[in-house]
């Protein structure tokens, strides 16, 4: 009886903490990748609430900075040439950029769980596209993957 109670308590505590289900995902910051020059790879990522995304400083001169996040979510602004790690708890669509290369279309999209803010994210993406000079189609391509 004591063993069963201890195991049940441990399992309940682990489930409540969410650590069993959380995953890590890596996004590389690259000078050149599958989608061309100055890219995040992958440019679109679907994760679950509580997952961690590591923005890996693969090539020099890049950072990851949030542009649009769901209401109540934390923003981020990583330093140039630094790998950063963020945990995404709020469901919805997140749009991010490389600050020095945003004009070149170095942008990305993360969907966390359900796209509860899809309409607002689409509006933000349409407005954001005005600050992109090259590779504007990337943002549309990534936003079209949101479900």
Q: What are phi and psi of 48, to 5 degrees?
A: -105, 155
Residue range 80-113, pLDDT digits in tens: 999 999 999 999 999 999 999 999 999 999 999 9
Distances (CA, A) of 115 to 100, 109, 111: 28, 11, 6
Q: Do 79 and 55 meet the contact criterion of CB atoms below 8 Å apart?
A: no
Q: What pTM value is reported for the model? A: 0.86
For residue 35, say if its preceding peptide bond is cis, omega within 30 degrees of 0.
Answer: no
Buried b (16+ CB within 10 A) or exposed e, 50-81: bbebebbbbeeebbbbbbbbbeebeebebeee
Confidence bin at 8 (pLDDT 50/70/90): very low
> How is residue 50 written in tokens?
């509580």
pLDDT of 10 above 50: no
pLDDT of 13 above 70: no
Residue range 66-82, pLDDT digits in tens: 999 999 999 999 999 99
Arithmetic mean of pLDDT over the chain: 90
What pLDDT score was predicted for residue 125?
Answer: 97
Average pLDDT over residues 128-138: 94
Residue range 111-123, pLDDT digits in tens: 999 999 999 999 9
Helices (H), the chain: 2-17, 118-128, 137-143
Distances (CA, A) of 69 to 31, 40, 72, 93, 95: 25, 17, 8, 7, 7
Q: Which domains does the chain have, with CATH numbers?
A: 22-143 (2.60.40.420)
- How many residues in the chain? 147
Q: Which residues contact 6 (CB under 8 A, 6 or more apart)?
A: none
């Amino acid at each position: 009886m004591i063993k069963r109670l201890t195991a049940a308590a441990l399992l309940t505590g682990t489930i409540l903490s969410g650590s069993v289900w959380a995953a890590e995902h890596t996004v590389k910051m690259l000078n050149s990748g599958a989608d061309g020059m100055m890219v995040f790879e992958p440019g679109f990522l679907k994760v679950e609430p509580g997952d961690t995304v590591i923005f890996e400083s693969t090539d020099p001169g890049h950072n990851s900075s949030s542009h649009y996040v769901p209401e109540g979510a934390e923003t981020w602004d990583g330093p140039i040439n630094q790998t950063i790690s963020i945990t995404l708890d709020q469901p919805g669509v997140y749009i991010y950029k490389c600050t020095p290369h945003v004009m070149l279309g170095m942008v990305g999209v993360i969907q966390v769980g359900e796209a509860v803010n899809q309409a607002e994210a689409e509006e933000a993406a349409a407005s954001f596209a005005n600050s992109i000079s090259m590779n504007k189609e990337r943002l549309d391509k990534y936003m079209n993957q949101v479900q």
